[in-house]
Structure 1
């Protein structure tokens, strides 16, 4: 690969209105959509696109819904297989396309495959590998988004202290990428940079830095000619954030560039307390739901309503699902979130890209790790399913069986009834419905709990006129039993008889009412960061991070909350590296 001379990095205001109209004309004529396009020297032709890309950017991005991320792969550091995903094959993209995805985002971290000094040459072998994956995805009938990914925090973040070198490297990277993919079909999109961030900079500087990078990216790609003259280009907010002032900054940049082939991109990982289960965010409650509604409405009003398509480049829940740790978000509550995302995306005209680091698609077997979860996500692309206030009914073993109720969330559907397998339960005898209250009778629950062993005894389904059924586990439980224990700040567990319960959260305080633990702004500590259930071994793990954050010699009162509504109080005292736990 030839050396790329260090480009100038003065600001450009982009093409004027006439140039923008010419770009649209080029696209409408199909010159960048996969038909033959000669380079200035007449020696190169564009490859054929496997999809017909609409001329309108809004229509093209809509045609990309739904989208999927090839996460933790080419963006892994330092190599493609460094984060456990192995080597991607063409079959990966064929699987994604076959299962209904219309586009794929391929994050790429270039840093370890590029010289760190001028002319910042990208390794030819690595560039060829990137191109191979892009070509496979295009050949599979997918739109492709290609970007500069973790470079954002590896070196772009140093822009305030190393401005000229950062800009030169950024520009050189995009000159080389643009040259390599100059003749790719218009179903390939470029994204300037993932979650841009800037260390040691004021808010004003951060805004200016991102605008400078986005404008420079736009100028370089457009100037490279060929298919890049009309290629759809994605511009991000700082951090990929959907905060209104950051979206407003991006809108200002896009408006000034006056290019009809630009796309705004942000990320969305839900209301933070719910996404990571901290500060009591155990349920997808009204606060979390309002956060999603407000966020999508803001994305729509800031961009879509003004004619700028919005690509939600990543969405999901932070660290969920994680097959190496207990689920920090309760499964049914997570399903509600995913269903809501799909509904809101359709309502607000937003294309969504599922962030998949490895957790959804098994890259070795090319099977969905949790088919039922994927079915729920897929269903959300076209319809909305009914749910209930929870996906479990708890029936205490130590007391007489009584009727239990859940609240139905119809989500625009109508309730059809309750089934156990292929058998429909009898309305009036097995359950009653009053308004939105579904009540299981004591007689039905007595049958459903069977021998009343702790845990899930049976599963029934509430079914609706559209969408997927809502599974409801019938669970026998009693208040968990905790025991005294000793250990160290490196290793301490609370012996726990769960007795059919699932741990929801942990409240930690000192006698003076102040919060205990590393998350000092809330008494409800973060799931898997401060505490974690160990169901197979009958224990609750208190992490070294939590224990080391405790005041020495002062007792912390912990209240463990379970999804059944049960709570158990426990006391922990740290003395040096020793830890003692007591029930009373």
Structure 2
């Protein structure tokens, strides 16, 4: 991902340096005499299988599914561990292979380790380290995509500036000349990607952007193809502008690929979903029909633009623009998104690479930070999973209990029943099913609420014929209460009794109904951008960007919306650098 902000988010994990232990059994007699030691026949066959790549690019890229990104690591600035991840070890790739991954993308930022003037020499130590990491992955039989990453916005974007054009192109050629030379003898399981999310200098016209994009891809192709070794027929990945999967930009790339007359070309794009949902802004809190259509349409375009024409597609990054453990996107809605994205990739013959900057896999503990998310992703590589309209059922603390209905999203599966732990709930007594309507009875909800402490009282599983179970949390809550507060434009912390409920979104408006806040185009401000819930400290915190954007002396009405359906109104007024909050 071409966004430095992704690199600076807080991390709770302890950072340690780890090293893999390489154990070799060596026959000393063979080494002493200089005699080459013949590998056993089964080992030789295994080695051949681990490096064999089909001649058909479509089949080769299909073998790369599923894929994973070593994000915020070799692309970190200035060094491998600068953005919070540990040193990369062979053990990491061993683990990824065991988890079912067939390929990895290794983003690399070269410019912190490269001379900015001719001959643009890449530091030998850095080149050797990159090669070591690549070789770790190749040794496990994984395909590897190696690219030029954050260089795109540091210097490559200036190729569209006439006065900088020649120097940028010379540096680009020199960069790929050195990379191609270093890796020319590697297995064809190593792929090269010309540039990550290419962008161009401000003020560049659309026509010039297209010309610059084509020039970069053509130069990359010429340098690699002319560098000898396995680079003569290595699979090469060419991106659209910004790696954006829009029809005009994919049309441009189609034309560029056709002009090269080279079958060993792969198209690469990225996908981070429907923007309002991806960052929870403008009321985009659920993976609704608009989201689903956008996802389906985008993948269908990838298919029609490339796959249907025999050009393989590598989705070099997919995910959301908010971190999975940030709370920005509600967990159940996030799970529905990942289930559908991977289904659409399968449906359209697209190989997909999860963007992981360290917030999915804890690379020190070798554990998935959110096991439910990874279980859904892994299952969706091969099968669909059923979901529901929500993963939460809110009941009033202390009752009264009434039956509540969820809509099942079967996704081609068959509903099999509900379980509370190892106990199967009884249809007719605990729940009923009518078509896709699943109704939990009042009796069942009273039982599942237990002692009715605020928060999750129990979690039941909806089982389907394929895929992972859908978890439904039974939550006791009362209407949240916000109290008066005083702060500054640096921070306003509103005392909040959440009473078991969970924040969904906030609408912010002036008296005339216009939007109030840093996102002036929508009344619904950005979750974790304009505000954040602080459940542990019973507070709702508003951020400087939001507070500083408010008009002086103009009261702002906040409509605070919760997942239970409860809403609370609250008034915020800025006066100079002082901000006051008043409960309605």
TM-score, reference length from structure 1 = 0.91
Partner secondary structure for residue 234 of structure 1: strand
Q: What CA distance in whole angstroms lies between the structure 1 residues aligned with 2:182 and 2:417?
A: 57
Aligned to 1:429: 429
Aligned to 1:11: none
Q: How does 1:318-329 map to 2 (within 5 A)?
A: 318-322=321-325, 326-329=326-329
Aligned pair 1:295/2:298, yes or no?
yes
Listed one character per residue, the Cα deviations across residues 458-482 of structure 1 (whole Å, up to 9, x for unaligned) are: 1111111111110000011111111
Aligned to 1:483: 483
Aligned pair 1:415/2:415, yes or no?
yes
Q: What CA distance in whole angstroms lies between the structure 2 residues aligned with 1:290 and 1:197?
A: 27
Partner secondary structure for residue 294 of structure 1: helix
Aligned to 2:179: 177
Q: What CA distance in whole angstroms lies between the structure 2 residues aligned with 1:370 and 1:522?
A: 31
Q: What CA distance in whole angstroms lies between the structure 2 residues aligned with 1:373 and 1:337?
A: 10
Q: What CA distance in whole angstroms lies between the structure 1 residues aligned with 2:365 and 2:582?
A: 46
Pick aligned residue for 2:201 from 199, 202, 205? 199
Aligned to 2:214: 211
Aligned to 1:234: 237
Shift, 1:156, TM fit: 0.6
Distance 1:329 1:336, change over 3 A: same
Q: What CA distance in whole angstroms lies between the structure 2 residues aligned with 1:252 and 1:163?
A: 23
Aligned to 1:559: 559
Aligned to 2:8: none
Q: What CA distance in whole angstroms lies between the structure 1 residues aligned with 2:435 and 2:100?
A: 37
Partner secondary structure for residue 50 of structure 2: coil
Shift, 1:199, TM fit: 1.1
Shift, 1:454, TM fit: 1.2
Aligned to 2:343: 343
Listed one character per residue, the Cα deviations across residues 405-461 of structure 1 (whole Å, up to 9, x for unaligned) are: 100010001111111011100000000011110001111111111122111111111
8 A contact 2:195–2:239 mirrored in 1: yes
8 A contact 1:397–1:477 mirrored in 2: yes
8 A contact 2:51–2:187 mirrored in 1: no
RMSD across aligned positions (CA): 1.0
Runs of 4+ aligned residues of structure 1 deviating over 3 Å after TM superposition are none
8 A contact 2:322–2:329 mirrored in 1: no
Aligned pair 1:119/2:119, yes or no?
yes
Shift, 1:399, TM fit: 4.6
Aligned to 1:496: 496
Q: What CA distance in whole angstroms lies between the structure 1 residues aligned with 2:511 and 2:222?
A: 61
Q: What CA distance in whole angstroms lies between the structure 2 residues aligned with 1:157 and 1:525?
A: 31
Aligned to 1:15: none
Aligned to 1:186: 188
Partner secondary structure for residue 569 of structure 1: strand
8 A contact 1:49–1:139 mirrored in 2: no
Aligned pair 1:517/2:510, yes or no?
no
8 A contact 2:491–2:547 mirrored in 1: no
Q: How does 1:90-489 map to 2 (within 5 A)?
A: 90-161=90-161, 162-200=164-202, 201-322=204-325, 326-397=326-397, 399-489=399-489
Q: What CA distance in whole angstroms lies between the structure 2 residues aligned with 1:189 and 1:111?
A: 20
Q: What CA distance in whole angstroms lies between the structure 2 residues aligned with 1:170 and 1:230?
A: 21
Partner secondary structure for residue 51 of structure 2: coil
Shift, 1:376, TM fit: 1.1
Listed one character per residue, the Cα deviations across residues 524-560 of structure 1 (whole Å, up to 9, x for unaligned) are: 0001010100000001100011000000111111111
Shift, 1:342, TM fit: 1.4
Q: What CA distance in whole angstroms lies between the structure 2 residues aligned with 1:462 and 1:361?
A: 26
Shift, 1:100, TM fit: 0.3
Aligned to 2:11: none
Listed one character per residue, the Cα deviations across residues 310-369 of structure 1 (whole Å, up to 9, x for unaligned) are: 0000000112214xxx41000011111111111111110000000000011111112111
Shift, 1:398, TM fit: 6.0
Q: What CA distance in whole angstroms lies between the structure 2 residues aligned with 1:435 and 1:311?
A: 38
8 A contact 2:398–2:452 mirrored in 1: no
Task: Please identify, of 114-123 and 359-368, the stretch whose mean Cα deviation from structure 2 is larger.
Answer: 359-368
Q: Which has the higher contact order (CA 8 A, sep 6+)?
A: 1
Shift, 1:68, TM fit: 0.3
TM-score, reference length from structure 2 = 0.91
Listed one character per residue, the Cα deviations across residues 192-245 of structure 1 (whole Å, up to 9, x for unaligned) are: 000000012111100000100000100110011210000000000111101111
Shift, 1:397, TM fit: 2.2
Partner secondary structure for residue 457 of structure 1: strand
Partner secondary structure for residue 82 of structure 2: coil
Partner secondary structure for residue 50 of structure 1: helix
8 A contact 1:279–1:522 mirrored in 2: yes
Partner secondary structure for residue 327 of structure 2: coil
Partner secondary structure for residue 359 of structure 1: coil
Q: What CA distance in whole angstroms lies between the structure 2 residues aligned with 1:364 and 1:416?
A: 38
Aligned to 1:17: none
Shift, 1:372, TM fit: 2.3
8 A contact 1:106–1:145 mirrored in 2: yes
Q: What CA distance in whole angstroms lies between the structure 2 residues aligned with 1:396 and 1:167?
A: 65
Q: What CA distance in whole angstroms lies between the structure 2 residues aligned with 1:164 and 1:504?
A: 51
Partner secondary structure for residue 159 of structure 1: helix
